[in-house]
Amino acid sequence: MMNRQVMPRDVLRCMMVSAVLATIGMCASEQQAPPNFLFILADDVTYSTVGRYGGTHVKTPNIDRLAKEGMRFTRAYCAMSMCAPFRAELYTGLYPVRNGVAWNHSVAKPGTKSICHYFGEFGYRVGLCGKKHASPTSVFPFEDVKDLPAGPDVRAFLTRDTKQPFCLFVCSYNAHPPWRGSDVSQFDQDAMTLPPVIHDNPPSRTTFAGYLAEVAALDEEVGQILRLLEDTGQVDNTVVMFSSEQGWDFGFGKWTNWDTGIHSALIARWPGRIGPKTETDALVQMADVVPTFIEAAGGDPAAYQLDGVSFLSVLTGESETHREFVYGLHNNVPEGHPYPIRSIRDQDFHYVMNLKHEVSYHEKHLMDETLAKRYDLQWWKAMNDAAEQGDVSAKKLRDKFHDRPAEELYRVDKDPYEMDNLAGQSEYNEVKRRLRTELTRWMKAQGDPGIAMDSIAAYAANRKGVTKPPRVLIIGDSISIGYTPYVTGMLKNDAVIKHHRGNAEHTGTGLKMLDPWIGDTEWDVIHFNWGLWDLCYRHPESKVQGHRDKVNGTVTMSLVQYEENLEELVIRLKKTHAVLIWAHTTVVPEKEAGRFVGDDKAYNDVATRVMKKHNVTINDLNRLTRGFSTDLFTQPGNVHYTKQGYQRIARQVADKILTSLKGKEKDSGDRK
């Protein structure tokens, strides 16, 4: 096993010697400043989708450039292929059983420390931008950084204090399903060659194109944050790492312990310390990142009781090997019935134990038809239907995924998609015995009881005592985006306020995106609005922002279509059982380029009719904003507001939400 490089070995050796001598010279003359750390995390991206990992379906130039400028790990693994456990392992340096996050949507054990605590002691500011999915806050007290991936708040965090080093995690939402947020037209679905673990059928091709589009969007995000690092002059003293997280939401990826699920792309760049265009076969685990960062920052990882082990020596070229084994586990509750899995990999073999192999595997996001539609995961149904109709390849894949043996053994280097199970061949008995013995030892050391851990009772015990503050979802256009931060601040002690990703635009967008915006969160209150986009007139040749043109343009949604769309949206929203609050569309000012004064009243009259029919509370923001003075608008003829204007709107929104929450508490108490 070697750290490989495209350039000749003698050139690499000279570069490394020069780098070491330069470092010694710097240390002799002056104290080196501690490095900054930037960790870029994808969401549900299979490592082999990335160009530098052999991916051919989508171009990833920014990720590939990062790999060319640093080191590519070919054998990096996570312990669990689920979002919350992956992140807890990454942030704590502990395996799932020890940190407590051994189920999806579970919480870390009280008193557990994370990189926030360790780097706080070192004098770093530690922030997270984007998807967090790590709780409780006492264990993961990241500074909340807005404007993913490289907006004004991110720039401010990077440049706030040049004397204080930073550690920032930039966590994308790409490519977590549903895959509807990016342009799929760039991919020729008919010409695709799907990976062998994805059955070839029209729904799979469609959703795979959606997945690829979000990987392309992820790559652009990586480019944006790397360019920001360059613009702020902090490239040379910043350790940058990128991880693709766990595998995709297709077969044999996320929710499994197969290699496609737990294998992660991992890339590191540190100018002057990590050679460019290098790659390593060293086995590393996500738990190793925290101790690696601690050592790189000048600390001693041995001072902390971590499961991970620093691989800094691999990064700097001093070592070509790291771990003898990497470990994996899977607890299926709460995402399906109990189906515990444990696994281990060495340099050559990957061994998997299915502890309840006598039952069929079930995962609700794939096999519950309603959830599958919500998350664009209809590939399972399409494959199952094909298998039932006699498709041999579909049946083979379905049976392998659904009905699993007690043991599985693979040569991953020769069989990357793990289609050839060697466990039944006697010549591998000694390999199985050796790996099973080590896996059993690790489970015992971790306090992992195996089958007993994957139960509703064990999961409930993890969640016991966790008080969930009310959760509020705000749906709306740029007006709601403007006031949501102030609502969040006003209700910070009363509720968790979330705004969906992006702009809700018009009711047509709402019909398309409502399910992913809602997700699987149990919302207590949903405050929602569509209107300003619906009543807007646009013309493709208009030079005004958004092609607005009320003279030559066409209205986005007629009053009739608007009412039909709202009717369907409210019916779907009511299925969440959240308290619903409709926000009347704010006022259309004089001289607005694409909207007629008075249309706001007409559209609000339609909305009133729909909301009264369904007994939905109305928050009359139109009446409020009609009384605004001109200085509360950003400029004449503009529907947007100044900071003071948004704060005024936020006050009324917060009051409405708080009143609804108190009413919900009273109703709940009456029912008890």
For residue 134, what pLDDT band results from cuts at 50, 70 and 90? Answer: very high
Q: Does residue 269 surpass a pLDDT of 90?
A: yes
Comparing C-alpha atoms, which of 416, 150, 72 is closest to residue 262?
Answer: 416
Which CATH topology does 471-671 take? Rossmann fold (3.40.50)
Yes or no: say if 118 and 298 are a contact pair by the CB < 8 Å rule: no
Mean pLDDT of 379-404: 93
Kindly give the interhelix angle for 61-68 and 202-231, rounded to the nearest 10 degrees: 50
Query: What burial letters (b/e) apply to 629-648, b meaning 16+ CB within 10 Å?
Result: eeebbeeeeebbbeeebbbb
Provide the whole-model pTM: 0.74
Mean pLDDT of 560-575: 95
Please tell me the number of Cα atoms within 13 Å of 603 on its side-chain side. Answer: 32
Per-residue pLDDT, 509: 96
Per-residue pLDDT, 205: 92
21-35, 277-291, 473-487, 623-637: the lowest-pLDDT one: 21-35
Q: Taking the C-alpha atoms of 156, 162, 167 and 168 in order, what is their torsion angle to the nearest 10 degrees? A: 20
Tokens 């619903």, located at residue: 580
For residue 662, what pLDDT band results from cuts at 50, 70 and 90? Answer: confident
H-helix or E-strand spanning residue 170:
strand 166-171
Q: Does residue 5 surpass a pLDDT of 80?
A: no
CA distance 148 to 220: 12
Mean pLDDT of 360-365: 89
CA distance 229 to 237: 10
Q: Does residue 30 surpass a pLDDT of 70?
A: no
How does the average pLDDT of the chain come out, rounded?
A: 91
For residue 375, what pLDDT band results from cuts at 50, 70 and 90? Answer: confident
Please report, for the chain, the start and end positions of each structural domain, with discontinuous segments joined by +.
3-321, 341-463, 471-671
Q: What is the pLDDT of residues 216-251, one digit of tens each?
A: 999 999 999 999 999 999 999 999 999 999 999 998
Per-residue pLDDT, 20: 37
Query: What burial letters (b/e) apply to 457-470, b meaning 16+ CB within 10 Å?
Result: ebbeebeeeeeeeb
Q: Does residue 144 surpass a pLDDT of 80?
A: yes
Q: Does residue 663 surpass a pLDDT of 80?
A: no
Q: Does residue 354 surpass a pLDDT of 80?
A: yes
More confident residue, 419 or 467: 419
For residue 12, what pLDDT band results from cuts at 50, 70 and 90? Answer: very low
Looking at residue 169, its amino acid is F
Mean pLDDT of 288-302: 96
For residue 465, what pLDDT band results from cuts at 50, 70 and 90? Answer: low
23-32, 136-145, 394-403: the lowest-pLDDT one: 23-32
Mean pLDDT of 584-603: 94
Question: Do the domains spanning 3-321 and 471-671 agree at the CATH topology level?
Answer: no
Phi and psi angles of residue 176, each rounded to the nearest 5 degrees, phi first: -75, 135
Per-residue pLDDT, 665: 47
Q: Does residue 142 surpass a pLDDT of 90?
A: yes
Q: Does residue 638 surpass a pLDDT of 90?
A: yes
Per-residue pLDDT, 645: 96
Yes or no: say if 26 and 236 are a contact pair by the CB < 8 Å rule: no
User: Residues 6 or more apart from 570 whose CB is under 8 A from it?
Assistant: 580, 610, 611, 614, 616
Q: Does residue 15 surpass a pLDDT of 60?
A: no
Mean pLDDT of 381-402: 94
Q: Does residue 11 surpass a pLDDT of 70?
A: no
**525-528/617-619 β-pairing:** unpaired
Q: What is the DSSP letter of 288?
A: G
Superfamily for domain range 3-321: Alkaline Phosphatase, subunit A (3.40.720.10)
CA distance 142 to 91: 10
Residue 272, by phi and psi: left (phi above 0), alpha (psi -120 to 50) or beta?
left
Q: Does residue 376 surpass a pLDDT of 50?
A: yes
